[in-house]
């Protein structure tokens, strides 16, 4: 299995697990909490079919990556992403981030600029600033994050069970756009995550990404479900799209947080249109 080393904790290397498939314009998919790169399984085939090289990876603390007790902040997450791109010698790519992954997209560009990034996509992302503050009245009250942290500390397995109900809006979409087996699979992936990472990442959701978002100067697609119970669209997607000059907002009607699964066809259509066809797919289309 392929890994890239991004740091060290005591005597052990900190390694990120990644998968690298296809050829053509590169697309890097950055997963949400508390999942892994496998959560993109409905998007990868579409992107490969449209002639893209597709890279997924597991954030530190999640999936098959190392599970250190340090580094759970967006500066480090952005550094990890940069180490991955550098190791794979990726010089031109699109960044696509879901949920927490939207924070990586914003912080990466805010920290390193957009050189080498030709497009960005933020799906159900946490930017620009989820935490309610004096200068951010649209945000979510800090008590919400504190309640989540208490639930995780008490029993993270029960927390995951309750979390995924609102992640997928199972009361609306169970048996229609999501199955019990798919929800169980997500729960299984979540339980593999580091307990430290599971707890530490919650506070990162409320980080202020406004400066980072203001630095995004490339074409950007913002996708968000208007029934998102995890990251409300009014506090996130709508505001992010307004802050980025070269952006477009696509609202998934009735979409929950995890639209990459429940509304995959709709999301994939928008992704394919926005990212375009790679050279291989364009060549095949021309021959038909």
State the catalytic residues: 99, 228, 257
Whose tokens are 């291989």? That residue is: 280
Q: Please name which of 288, 133, 275, 150 lies closest in space to residue 210, comparing C-alpha atoms.
A: 133
Residues β-bridged to residue 159: none
CB 74 within 8 A of CB 206: no
Which residue from 44, 102, 40 is spatially nearest to 77, judged by alpha carbons? 102
DSSP letter at 58 equals: P
Residue 221 forms beta bridges with which residues? 121, 248
| Alpha-carbon gap, residue 177 to 173, rounded angstroms | 5
Nearest to 91 by CA among 114, 121, 120: 114
Q: Spell 27-64 as b/e; 16+ CB within 10 A means b.
A: bbbbbbbbbbbbbbeebbebbbbbbbbbbbbbbbbbbb
Residue of 40, 5, 46, 57 whose CA lies nearest to 22: 46
């Amino acid at each position: 299995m392929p890994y890239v080393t991004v740091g060290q904790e005591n005597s052990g290397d900190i390694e990120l697990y990644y998968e690298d498939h296809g050829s053509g314009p590169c697309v890097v998919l950055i997963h949400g909490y508390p999942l892994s790169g496998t959560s993109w399984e409905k998007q990868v085939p579409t992107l490969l079919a449209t002639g893209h090289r597709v890279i997924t990876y597991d954030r530190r603390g999640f999936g098959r990556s190392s599970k250190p007790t340090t580094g759970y902040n967006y500066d480090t997450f952005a550094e990890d992403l940069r180490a991955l791109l550098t190791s794979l010698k990726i010089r031109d790519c699109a960044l696509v981030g879901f949920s927490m992954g939207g924070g990586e997209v914003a912080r990466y560009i805010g920290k390193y600029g957009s050189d080498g990034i030709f497009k960005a996509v933020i799906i159900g992302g946490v930017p620009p600033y989820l935490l309610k503050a004096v200068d951010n009245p649209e945000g979510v009250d800090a008590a919400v994050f504190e309640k989540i942290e208490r639930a995780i500390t008490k029993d993270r397995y029960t927390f995951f069970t309750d979390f995924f109900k609102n992640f997928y809006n199972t009361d609306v979409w169970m048996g229609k756009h999501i199955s019990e087996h798919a929800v169980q699979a997500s729960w299984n992936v979540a339980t593999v995550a580091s307990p430290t990472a599971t707890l530490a990442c919650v506070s990162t959701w409320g980080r202020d990404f406004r400066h980072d978002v203001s630095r995004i100067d490339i074409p950007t697609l913002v996708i968000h479900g208007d029934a998102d119970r995890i990251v409300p669209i009014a506090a996130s997607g709508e505001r992010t799209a307004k802050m980025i000059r070269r952006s477009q907002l696509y609202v998934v009607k009735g979409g929950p947080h995890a639209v990459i699964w429940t509304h995959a066809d709709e999301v994939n259509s928008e992704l394919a249109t926005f990212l375009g066809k790679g050279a291989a797919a364009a060549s095949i289309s021309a021959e038909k």
